[in-house]
Structure 1
Amino acid sequence: MSNPESFRELCRNELHSGPTSGLLSGYVQANLLILPQSAAESFEDLCFRNPVACPLLCKTNDSPYRLENHDRYIKNGHFDIRRDFPKYNIYHGGELIEQKNNCVDEWAEGHVGFLIGCSFSFEYALAQAGLAPKNVVQGSNVSMFVTTKYLDTSGIFHRCPYVVSMRPYKVNDIEQVRQITRLFKKTHGEPIDWGFDGAQRLGIRDLKQPEYGDPIDIAENEIPVFWACGVTPQLAVATVGQSIDGAVVGHTPGHMLVLDTTQVS
């Protein structure tokens, strides 16, 4: 794959179904949530009330082939939100029932697809500064944890926990890591906490057992660093799923849409 368009075509043809961390470095990646119209307004308000955990980039424009401000995000070629992610999670009643390479059968008239900023978008900038995340170096998925921190309530969404991604760093590198990622405000920005005491504040019990993604070893001279994570909306759906009629679709954690842009603000 040489560019985002060709990568999306691979996904559309079900020739790539793996994680996207470290792929097509420098391009913005996006998380996904597709909701029935009845829940879409509450979710959009949830994003506005929680812009760090749920940084809304755009939503579909009455079609799975078009986005609001489409040319800003998809500049080249065909686009299909139902096929262009490597893998999808399918939910009913808040329960994850299936993982698929497309969600064509689940998409219905009136569904709204939301693209949420992803922290994979700043991993290239970290690598350029000599601070490549371990998950990129090792070719693995990032570790993601459910926390005891809650989103601000909106509509049907209440008591919905944050999910965080974790990347280990040396203590002396933390300030530079913060400065680099702070610039990526639409893809979660700087860390929300760090250190083993930070893990305790977030209610994370075992750093070796992430709820999503792969375990990442933390060396003796490193500490865990935590960013808000775009899997949070899917956990919100699981939390209030009985309030949503019909199918809900998200990306499989770590399996993102790669956009044509290299920067969002």
Structure 2
Amino acid sequence: MTVLDPSPSAAAERPVFANAREARQAIRAGRWREHTSGLAPANVQGNVVILPAALASDFLRFCQRNPKPCPLLAVSEPGDPMLPTLGADIDIRSDVPRYRVWRDGELADEPSDIGALWQGGLVSFVLGCSFSFEHALIEAGIELRHVREGRNVAMYRTNIPTTPAGPFHGPMVVSMRPMKAADAIRAVQVTARVPAVHGAPVHLGDPALIGIADIGRPDFGDPVEIKPDELPVFWACGVTPQAVVMAARPAFCITHAPGYMLITDRLNSDLPFA
């Protein structure tokens, strides 16, 4: 039996689950309520956006127009909380460690279960996540400091605009990983092959060029040290819809909390390669 200790002092002892179903069972039972970076590392993780059916077609077009930050993995049937193409037992109402509930673009709550909020017309979208390509980076011998330290990845709102669709518009969010120059070049090569989980970076180097005023203060996730011989490398991030929700202000929306992902049964090794 795995003992799950989510305290910061246990960062080095974060569990690695044997498979995605074991991880989801721990999440569903309330035994794991922390971020999911490094859990079930062979499995695809997904960002989650849940919207009323009346907004679903506009959001689908938004994803199609912005495939870097919003690569679609699955879309549910209206009112159906199950996502059988991602896992036979996945229930979107309980299988994310922490959700965010948005009302009129404002964060209203962060529950660990949304069963009481479920409505018949809700549509779930699952988007590709950079936690999936991290597995490939680590296999390529590239150290990821936030993974080694048990931290959530640092994420930032930028001045890079997305392409609007219906009411949905707003800035791109990026995730950042510090790397030495040689590792950054290798990371571009590795991640460019997996467009289903954001693909190649959108920026390397000076964060001010993409509107980030203070690299030490991420908008989401945890700060991480950038050493003198390293440069920050930025990937499009599936938290972008949360910045879009803040801008578009739909009456009701549910997302995952940044870094608290849906772990699917799909394997990173089975993702389509470019």
Q: Distance in 1 between matches of 2:143 and 2:119?
A: 40
1:85 to 2:96 alignment: yes
1:58 corresponds in structure 2 to 74
Q: Does structure 2 conserve the Cα–Cα contact (< 8 Å) formed by 1:64 and 1:82? A: no
Residue 260 of structure 1, aligned match among 257, 260, 265? 265
TM-score, reference length from structure 1:
0.93
1:74 corresponds in structure 2 to 87
Q: Deviations 1:215-241 (Å, cap 9, x if unpaired)? A: 011000000000000000111111111
Q: Distance in 2 between matches of 1:64 and 1:8?
A: 18
TM-score, reference length from structure 2:
0.90
Which secondary structure does the structure 2 equivalent of 1:230 belong to? coil
Q: Deviations 1:75-113 (Å, cap 9, x if unpaired)? A: 5xx221010011101110100011110111222011100
Post-superposition offset of 1:203 = 0.5
Residue 47 of structure 1, aligned match among 40, 60, 63? 63
Q: Distance in 1 between matches of 2:94 and 2:173?
A: 25
1:251 corresponds in structure 2 to 256
1:185 corresponds in structure 2 to 195
Q: Does structure 1 conserve the Cα–Cα contact (< 8 Å) formed by 2:66 and 2:163? A: yes
1:126 to 2:137 alignment: yes
**Aligned positions of 1:105-120 closer than 5 A:** 105-120=116-131
Give the number of aligned pairs.
Answer: 254
1:233 corresponds in structure 2 to 241
Post-superposition offset of 1:256 = 0.5
Which secondary structure does the structure 2 equivalent of 1:249 belong to? strand
Q: 204-213 vs 6-15, which deviates more?
A: 6-15
1:135 corresponds in structure 2 to 146
Which secondary structure does the structure 2 equivalent of 1:32 belong to? strand
Q: Does structure 1 conserve the Cα–Cα contact (< 8 Å) formed by 2:98 and 2:260? A: yes
Post-superposition offset of 1:153 = 1.0
Q: Percent identity?
A: 39
2:183 corresponds in structure 1 to 173
Q: Distance in 2 between matches of 1:13 and 1:35?
A: 25
Q: Does structure 2 conserve the Cα–Cα contact (< 8 Å) formed by 1:124 and 1:132? A: no
Q: Does structure 1 conserve the Cα–Cα contact (< 8 Å) formed by 2:188 and 2:201? A: yes
1:154 to 2:165 alignment: yes
1:14 to 2:36 alignment: no
Q: Deviations 1:187-235 (Å, cap 9, x if unpaired)? A: 1011001012xx1221101000000000011000000000000000111
Unaligned segments of structure 1, at least 5 residues: none
Q: Deviations 1:30-72 (Å, cap 9, x if unpaired)? A: 00000011211111000000000111111112344433xx24x
Q: Distance in 2 between matches of 1:54 and 1:31?
A: 9
Residue 98 of structure 1, aligned match among 105, 109, 118? 109
Unaligned segments of structure 2, at least 5 residues: 1-16
Residue 227 of structure 2, aligned match among 219, 222, 225? 219
Q: Distance in 2 between matches of 1:22 and 1:15?
A: 16
2:10 corresponds in structure 1 to none
1:38 to 2:48 alignment: no
